[in-house]
Amino acid sequence: MEEQLYREIILEHWKNPQNYGVIKNAAIDISDSNPLCGDEIRITAKIQDNKLTDVLFISEGCAISKASASLFTEKIKKMNIKAIKEITPEETLEELGIMLTPTRTKCALLVYATLQKGLRK
């Protein structure tokens, strides 16, 4: 029953993703892809006073990838940069609430890995 609820949440975030779009003149503007399945993502974000004040993404790919990006960007918006850097891949996967195959895990972590690269630049 619980897994069905999470599946519905994933489908909702895939069909109606939160934080979808592009920020002009963003402090972070980074793109990446998952060559195994073809998922692509671009993340743009504003930073002020060491906080992520806004974050948007655009993507092409599977439902898991887009839903994960929607959920992750909701979680990190307004967070301190140091706290975002401390988020683990496992915490990102927990947001989805379902077990994933190794291939789908890469889809779900594309947003996490891409943002971490952007924060290191």
The Cα 60–Cα 70 span in angstroms is: 13
Pick the CATH number of 2-120 from 3.60.15.10, 1.10.1140.10, 3.90.1010.10, 3.30.1490.190: 3.90.1010.10
Measured between alpha carbons, how far is 25 from 100 in angstroms, rounded to an integer? 36
User: Each residue of 1-41: pLDDT tens digit?
Assistant: 566 766 888 889 999 999 999 999 999 999 999 988 899 99
The per-residue pLDDT for range 54-76, each reduced to its tens digit, is 999 999 999 999 999 999 999 99
- Tokens of residue 10, six digits: 């994933």
Residue 105's identity, in one-letter code, is T
C-alpha Rg value of the chain to the nearest Å = 13
Distance, CA of 71 to CA of 18 (rounded, Å) = 7
Q: Cα separation of 121 and 115, whole Å?
A: 10
Q: What is the band of 96 on the pLDDT scale with cuts at 50, 70, 90?
A: confident
Q: Torsion over CA of 35, 36, 37 and 42, rounded to 10 degrees?
A: -30
Domain limits of the chain?
Answer: 2-120
Give the residue from 25, 54, 60 showing the smallest Cα distance to 42. Answer: 60
Give the relative orientation of helices 63-76 and 102-120 as an angle to the nearest 10 degrees: 40
